[in-house]
Amino acid sequence: MRLPLVGSTLGLLSSAGLVAAQTYTNCNPLKKTCPADPALGKSASYDFTEGSSSDFTATGSPAYGSDGAEFTVAKQGDAPLIQSNWYIMFGHVEYVIKAAPGTGIVSSAVLQSDDLDEIDWEWLGGNDELVQTNYFGKGDTSTYNRGATHNDPGNHDGFHTYTVDWTSSQIVWQIDGTTVRVLTPETADTDQYPQTPMVVKVGIWAGGDPSNPQGTIDWAGGTTDYNDGPYTMYLKSLKVTDYSTGTSYSYSGESGDWTSITANGGKVNGNIGADTMTSIQSAPTVTSTVASIPIPWSGTHRETNTFTTPDVWPWVATGSSTAMPWTYSGSGHVQPPTAASVSEHFLPPFTMDSDRC
């Protein structure tokens, strides 16, 4: 899923009658020449109970208190978030988070690159027992089998530590130090292993907003009732180790392969020997999942290749498409869309400047 980067994008979506959700890229380096990404190049810790950090840019006015950064949805269009001003090129990230309750409310902690590689944690406000993990390469959702759902009891009731350890050989997701999922380049979908410099984004949005496509509302767990809010997600602290060194990261060519990334003034994997902040346990051979839980539908990032994809999500196709959001069956399972359902799930056409993709 995706978090908007700048306030102007948020306003544009609201004025278009859409609820802002989660991703925006100023410049896709696989499509044109882009500025180098500023590197973290070290380890850093952030205690948000002490207030905001100049290392992050906020959208939507998150607040700060004794429980850390507070991301609140109180009314239609609210989607507060923070995004790091630095990138990591492989690394270790620990989020201490209490997810927000509320039907249709989505709390997210995301690593994302300029070319839309992505490593996600997502919590649905209608379920205090589960968390979803996901990954994407280059914003491609030509298949929809990359998500997984894991037991995570009490995620609305108290803080838990959610970890991503990301290298060129594996991604490990942990909850409170216990490994729940492992991905390698060999087990990832073809050419979909995330491997380009990433920022950290944390925030909240209403996937269940009544104006969203029905598939989005279904995935989020139902329609959001703002009268039952406000709904607040908390980020107490964040610990990060960049496994590369230098001042910035640059792309060469259009492959999006990690070997094409240059660490200016340093070295990719130059800090790979750094001690991680949480020990990595033996990786399970099979991803831990819970059956019968809806995970990404066709529409999470890109539905087909037949039209230009705007650089925000959720978005609406401006051309014809047979790919549609999935729907519930009554038994709790998600069913693929049918061609007959295409018209009822598309909102009015929405377009953006294609040069910004």
- Is the pLDDT at 77 greater than 80? The verdict is yes
What percentage of the chain carries pLDDT values higher than 90?
A: 55
Beta strand extents in the chain (DSSP E only): 37-38, 43-47, 56-59, 63-65, 68-73, 81-84, 91-98, 105-113, 118-124, 130-136, 148-151, 160-166, 171-175, 178-183, 198-206, 231-242, 248-251, 261-264, 327-328, 334-335
Per-residue confidence (pLDDT) for residue 254, from 0 to 100? 85
The predicted model gives 322-333 an average pLDDT of 30
Select, from the ranges 26-30, 57-61, 328-332, the one with the highest average predicted confidence (pLDDT): 57-61
- Is the pLDDT at 290 greater than 90? The verdict is no
Per-residue confidence (pLDDT) for residue 129, from 0 to 100? 94
What six digits make up the tokens of 187?
Answer: 């087990």
186 catalytic residue (yes or no): no
Amino acid at the residue 49: T
**All residues at 6 or more sequence positions from 283 whose CB lies less than 8 Å from its CB, including other chains:** 170, 172, 179, 182
Structural domains in the chain, sorted by start: 7-295 (2.60.120.200)
Supply the mean pLDDT for the chain: 75
- Is the pLDDT at 102 greater than 60? The verdict is yes
- Is the pLDDT at 7 greater than 80? The verdict is no
Q: Which residues pair with 151 in a beta bridge?
A: 130
Per-residue confidence (pLDDT) for residue 172, from 0 to 100? 92
- Is the pLDDT at 222 greater than 50? The verdict is yes
The predicted model gives 284-306 an average pLDDT of 40
**Higher-pLDDT residue of 230, 288:** 230
Integer Cα distance of 62 and 299 in angstroms? 27
- Candidates 94, 118, 186, 254; catalytic one: 118
118 catalytic residue (yes or no): yes
**Higher-pLDDT residue of 92, 253:** 92
Per-residue confidence (pLDDT) for residue 142, from 0 to 100? 64
Per-residue confidence (pLDDT) for residue 98, from 0 to 100? 98
- Is the pLDDT at 23 greater than 70? The verdict is no
The predicted model gives 333-354 an average pLDDT of 30
Q: Is the peptide bond before 230 cis (omega within 30 degrees of 0)?
A: yes
- Candidates 50, 122, 186, 344; catalytic one: 122
The verdict on pTM exceeding 0.85 is no
Confidence of residue 20 (pLDDT cuts 50, 70, 90): very low
Count Cβ atoms below 10 Å from residue 344 Cβ, excluding itself. 9
- Is the pLDDT at 316 greater than 60? The verdict is no
Tens digit of pLDDT for each residue in 161-198? 999 999 999 999 999 989 999 999 998 888 889 999 99
**All residues at 6 or more sequence positions from 134 whose CB lies less than 8 Å from its CB, including other chains:** 1, 118, 119, 120, 122, 146, 147, 148, 295, 296
- Is the pLDDT at 283 greater than 70? The verdict is no
- Is the pLDDT at 116 greater than 80? The verdict is yes
The predicted model gives 108-133 an average pLDDT of 94
The predicted model gives 323-348 an average pLDDT of 30
